[in-house]
Every structure is written in C-alpha cells, then in structure tokens.
Amino acid sequence: MTERELVDLAFSMLERSYVPYSHFPVGAALECADGSVFTGCNVENSAYGDTICAERTAVVKAVSEGHRDDFVRIAIAGRSQDYCWPCGSCRQVLNEFAPGLTVLVARGDGAFVRFPLRELLPHGFGPKSLV
C-alpha cells in the first residue's frame, strides 16, 4: 500500500466519526508488516474523558486481532487547515507497541507529512523503561 492510499483510507474514516461535541472528525489507518490495515475514527462521549481517538481505536482493533509488535505506519487525517497531529495519549499508546513507527499526518486539503514517532515523542516511556 502506498502512503497516499493509507492516507486516503484514513480520510475515508472521517464519515464514521461520532463527534457531536467537538465536531472535529479524525480518521486513522494503521498498517502492519504483513500488509494488514486497521482503521479507526474518534468516538466522543458526553463524559469527555471516555472519548477515544481514532489512532487508539485503530491500535485496539489491531491488538484485538493479534497484532502487537508489527506496526509499520499510521496515517491520521482530519478536515482542519493544519495537520492533524496525534495527541499525547495517542503518541504514548503508539510508543507502547511501535516506537519505530512512521506517522503520516494529513490536513483537510489532503496534503500530508511524515515523521518518525520518536520525533513526535522524544524520550518516550515504554515497556523497556520498566526493566
């Protein structure tokens, strides 16, 4: 799958977002080493702390299907003028499973940039931190 295809898949998830409070839909597409792709969207809740981001939705779906240490890339898309950066919680969850992950971050016009997760979460706390 090309980077563009992965980003487009993330954009396709915007319509599935449940965002009655923020009105800020986000979509994500997480690619594994075997070519499997898990998508996600943000799902808000009136108890705001129970809201789950698109990136974490995709990760939870992948883990529940047996993937844990083979995440290669994630695309994150929103409709904003700025790039749709992952929040700190999402960066931490991604780091738990794939500190070497490539993150593709898109903005509403379809343009995207790529960064290593290590640049988005320098000195991240992960499983090896507990040894």
Q: Which positions are catalytic?
A: 55
Instruction: Give CB contacts under 8 A, 24+ apart, made by 43-52.
Output: 43/17, 43/18, 44/18, 44/19, 44/20, 46/21, 48/21
| Nearest alpha carbon to residue 54 among 103, 115, 121 | 103
